């Protein structure tokens, strides 16, 4: 047996030849071992070949896998980028999630999808609610395209117009405007579009199938799409009833204003017609008192004077109340002396208190500045009303006026005027009614003490107009306290001064040349009597035209001018004297018109002063003397 053929491993053969010589020479004892080694070499070579083949195959597969992974990574990157772009379009940016982790991206998108589903659900609900709201709205809601055609109208629009859906959606908005309003409505909305006015309101009558008078008030909003005008959205309301009510209110307002003017004219005429004869009655009574009369005649004259004065007070109260109710009472704003006002008030009221045998005195807080800014005339009226009431309803005892500083600020002082009496008092149940016009606490009071019940009503209104407060505390059978708190500013100067008393032996009216212009014969007689007593030379005219003729031919020192006269009234005559005759002669108005407007008209016409009838002779005397004295 040739041993060389039984050894297949070339490497083993080389090793045997190197160390043992020929393969055939190998001893038989070790040949089986060498055969086993040869088999091991064969297995090794086979395994090596397999390993080499496996390695060759793995390298190829790894290259393929890497290539595939690179392609997948590139595709993933493209998907992520595309996902970013798509998400950014719906306002989701990569800052909101980890763009490198697709699992997190998928989780985030899943949550976003759920949110969007909820939002879409809420939106569908909102749209349905909005649609229900629009469809059931009591107002017409409609939309018109850029060509003026209706594109949507809610059900009430069809109901009011009487047109069907098919009819409406083939109509322009101008077709539902009444013919006589088409031109102005069309022009209105053309101008709105041209001027790009975002929102407008317009009222117009609507054309409808039922031929009913339907007025529409609508608000129109312009609609733009991509920056271009795309139509209008309008909300229109049936204002037919509203317009009727509005017109009724306008008519009622006109009627009320006419009624108010008629009332004012009536009161003015009533005041004038009553004051004119009252001037003669009171004046003649005063003159008669100065003659030799017995006690019984004096008693009758006192009754006439008292009744006349009460009637004048009533007229003044009615006029004041009328001005207050019509809102035409204007407050003066003047610097005045508080001490002068209180002194004058005290002496006037002290006479009334003395006649009843009751005490009357006043006290003033020394902290109150003397120079105040406000309406001294209305303040005097308030205090006069309260003190008059206190004296009237106090059979015995005393009346006190106290003036206190309640709150002092830099410019404004809160001053409290308190009038306290020991009179009959007011029961608790009647306290609320004493400020009502033409009302008194008890009807028996009117019978016993007289009065109209206007004084406190006027006082309350005056205090309110002056931004003050009025409070009353009273106990029946014990007395009453009225407290008035008024804000009065400090004044820089005093503008209202006490009327100077100019009568003296050095200043008198004797020898004065005076023209009296008065159409009432009795009032002329009263004036003649007074002027005779004062030694005045006078002439008279019964109207303005006659007075102008006298002035053209004769010189006078002063004129007493009535306002209301036939032919030519006092205002027209005064303007003629100033503008045509160019005379600067002093003119004093003697008028029965008691409104402030009337006094203003007198002064504006060129008169120098005004006296309201009935007047005190001493006041007329001083006013004449003052005008003459100023001319010297």
Question: Which pLDDT tens digit goes with each residue over 307-345?
Answer: 777 677 777 777 777 777 767 677 888 889 999 889 888
* pLDDT one-digit tens code per residue, 534-558: 999 999 999 999 999 999 899 999 9
pLDDT, residue 286, reads 81
* pLDDT one-digit tens code per residue, 240-285: 999 999 999 999 988 888 887 777 777 777 777 777 788 778 888 8
Asked whether residue 199 carries a pLDDT value surpassing 70, the answer given is: yes
Between the ranges 91-105, 268-282, 510-524, 590-604, where is the mean pLDDT highest? 510-524
pLDDT band of 443, cuts 50, 70, 90: very low
Is residue 168 within 8 A of residue 148, CB to CB? The reply is no
pLDDT, residue 30, reads 65
* Annotated domain spans of the chain: 3-74, 137-238, 250-321, 330-490, 513-631
Q: Stretch 291-304: mean pLDDT, rounded?
A: 82
Give the residue with greater pLDDT, 145 vs 446: 145
CA angle at 260 for the pair 256 and 261, rounded to the nearest 5°: 120
Of the given ranges (100-104, 352-356, 461-465, 569-573), which has the lowest mean pLDDT? 100-104
Of the given ranges (2-16, 337-351, 578-592), which has the lowest mean pLDDT? 2-16
Helical ranges in 90-211 per DSSP H:
102-136, 155-161, 165-168, 182-195
The whole-angstrom separation of Cα 414 and Cα 411 is: 10
pLDDT, residue 101, reads 60
pLDDT, residue 400, reads 94
pLDDT band of 449, cuts 50, 70, 90: very low
3-state secondary structure of 122: helix
pLDDT, residue 86, reads 67
pLDDT band of 222, cuts 50, 70, 90: very high
The whole-angstrom separation of Cα 261 and Cα 255 is: 10
pLDDT, residue 50, reads 66
Report pTM.
0.53
pLDDT, residue 47, reads 63
pLDDT, residue 249, reads 92
- Report in angstroms the alpha-carbon separations of 345 from 312, 332, 342, 362, 433: 19, 19, 5, 10, 27
Spell out a b/e string for 133-159, using b for 16 or more CB atoms within 10 Å of the CB, else e.
ebeeeebbbbbbeeeebbeebbebbee
pLDDT, residue 217, reads 93
The whole-angstrom separation of Cα 9 and Cα 6 is: 9
The whole-angstrom separation of Cα 534 and Cα 589 is: 19
- Report in angstroms the alpha-carbon separations of 401 from 47, 61, 345, 349, 420: 138, 122, 11, 11, 7
Of all residues in the chain, the percent with pLDDT exceeding 90 is: 33
Give the residue with greater pLDDT, 10 vs 262: 262
- Report the first-to-last Cα separation within the chain, whole angstroms: 185
Asked whether residue 214 carries a pLDDT value surpassing 80, the answer given is: yes
Q: Stretch 554-570: mean pLDDT, rounded?
A: 92
pLDDT, residue 441, reads 46
pLDDT, residue 417, reads 95
Asked whether residue 503 carries a pLDDT value surpassing 50, the answer given is: no
Give the residue with greater pLDDT, 479 vs 501: 479
pLDDT, residue 445, reads 47
Asked whether residue 103 carries a pLDDT value surpassing 70, the answer given is: no
Of the given ranges (13-17, 413-417, 596-600), which has the lowest mean pLDDT? 13-17
Of the given ranges (247-261, 435-449, 464-478), which has the lowest mean pLDDT? 435-449
The whole-angstrom separation of Cα 15 and Cα 9 is: 10
CATH code of the domain occupying 330-490: 3.30.565.10
* pLDDT one-digit tens code per residue, 430-439: 777 776 654 5
Asked whether residue 476 carries a pLDDT value surpassing 60, the answer given is: yes
Torsion of CA 590, 593, 595, 600, to 10 degrees: -40
CATH code of the domain occupying 513-631: 3.40.50.2300
Q: Residue 223, exposed/middle/buried by CB under 10 A (0-12, 13-18, 19+)?
A: middle
CATH topology of domain 137-238: Beta-Lactamase (3.30.450)
3-state secondary structure of 138: coil
**Is 250-321 assigned to CATH 1.10.357.10?**
no
pLDDT, residue 504, reads 47
Asked whether residue 566 carries a pLDDT value surpassing 60, the answer given is: yes
Same fold, 137-238 and 330-490: no
Select from 463, 441, 434, 355 the least CA-distant residue to 399. 355
* pLDDT one-digit tens code per residue, 368-425: 989 999 988 889 889 988 998 899 889 999 999 999 998 887 778 899 999 999 998 8
Q: Stretch 228-247: mean pLDDT, rounded?
A: 92
Give the residue with greater pLDDT, 597 vs 160: 160
Average pLDDT, the chain: 82
């Amino acid at each position: 047996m040739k041993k060389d053929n039984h050894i297949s491993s070339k490497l083993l053969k080389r090793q045997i030849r190197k160390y043992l010589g020929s393969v055939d020479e190998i001893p038989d004892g070790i040949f089986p071992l060498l055969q086993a080694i040869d088999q091991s070499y064969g297995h090794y070579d086979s395994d090596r070949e397999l390993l080499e083949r496996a390695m060759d195959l793995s390298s190829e597969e790894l290259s393929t896998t890497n290539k595939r992974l690179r392609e997948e990574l590139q595709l993933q990157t493209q998907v992520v980028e595309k996902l970013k772009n798509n998400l950014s379009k719906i306002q989701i940016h990569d800052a909101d999630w980890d763009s490198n982790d697709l699992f997190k991206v998928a989780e985030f998108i899943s949550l976003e999808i759920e949110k969007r589903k909820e939002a879409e659900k809420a939106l569908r609900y909102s749209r349905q609610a909005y649609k229900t709201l629009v469809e059931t709205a009591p107002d017409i809601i409609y939309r018109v395209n850029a060509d003026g055609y209706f594109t949507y109208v809610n059900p009430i629009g069809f109901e009011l117009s009487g047109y069907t859906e098919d009819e409406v959606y083939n109509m322009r908005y101008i077709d539902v405007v009444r013919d006589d309003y088409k031109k102005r409505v069309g022009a209105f909305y053309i101008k709105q579009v041209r001027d790009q006015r975002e929102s407008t309101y317009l009222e117009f009558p609507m054309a409808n199938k039922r031929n009913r008078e339907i007025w529409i008030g609508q608000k129109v909003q312009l609609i733009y799409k991509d920056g271009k005008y795309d139509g209008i959205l309008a909300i229109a309301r049936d204002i037919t009833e509203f317009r009727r009510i509005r017109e009724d209110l306008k008519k009622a307002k006109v009627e009320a204003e006419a009624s108010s003017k008629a009332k004012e004219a009536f009161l003015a005429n009533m005041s004038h017609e009553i004051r004119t004869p009252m001037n003669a009655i009171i004046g003649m009574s005063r003159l008669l008192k100065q003659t030799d009369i017995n006690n019984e005649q004096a008693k009758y004259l006192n009754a006439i004077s008292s009744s006349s004065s009460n009637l004048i007070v009533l007229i003044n109260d009615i006029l004041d109340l009328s001005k207050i109710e019509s809102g035409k009472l204007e407050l003066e704003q003047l610097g005045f002396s508080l001490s002068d006002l209180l002194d004058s008030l005290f002496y006037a009221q002290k006479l009334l208190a003395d006649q009843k045998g009751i005490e009357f005195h006043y006290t003033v807080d020394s902290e109150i500045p003397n120079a105040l800014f406000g309406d001294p005339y209305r303040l005097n009226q308030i205090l006069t009303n309260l003190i008059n009431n206190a004296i009237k309803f106090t059979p015995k005892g005393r009346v006190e006026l106290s003036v206190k500083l309640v709150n002092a600020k830099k410019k404004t002082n809160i001053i409290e005027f308190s009038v306290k009496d020991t009179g009959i008092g007011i029961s608790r149940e009647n306290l609320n009614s004493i400020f009502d016009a033409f009302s008194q606490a008890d009807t028996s009071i009117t019978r016993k003490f007289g009065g109209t019940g206007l004084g406190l009503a006027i006082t309350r209104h005056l205090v309110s107009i002056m931004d003050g407060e009025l409070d009353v505390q009273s106990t029946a059978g014990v007395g009453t306290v009225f407290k008035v708190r008024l804000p009065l500013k400090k004044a820089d100067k005093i503008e209202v001064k006490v009327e100077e008393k100019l009568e003296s032996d050095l200043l008198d009216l004797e020898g004065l040349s005076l023209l009296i212009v008065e159409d009432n014969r009795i009032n002329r007689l009263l004036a003649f009597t007074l002027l005779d007593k004062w030694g005045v030379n006078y002439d008279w005219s019964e109207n303005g035209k006659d007075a102008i003729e006298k002035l053209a031919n004769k010189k006078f020192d002063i004129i007493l001018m009535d306002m209301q006269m036939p032919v030519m009234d006092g205002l027209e005559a005064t303007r003629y004297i100033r503008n045509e005759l160019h005379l600067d002669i002093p003119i004093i108005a003697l008028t029965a018109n008691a409104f402030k407007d009337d006094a203003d008209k007198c002064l504006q016409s060129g008169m120098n002063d005004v006296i309201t009838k009935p007047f005190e002779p001493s006041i007329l005397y001083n006013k004449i003397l003052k005008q003459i004295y100023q001319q010297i």
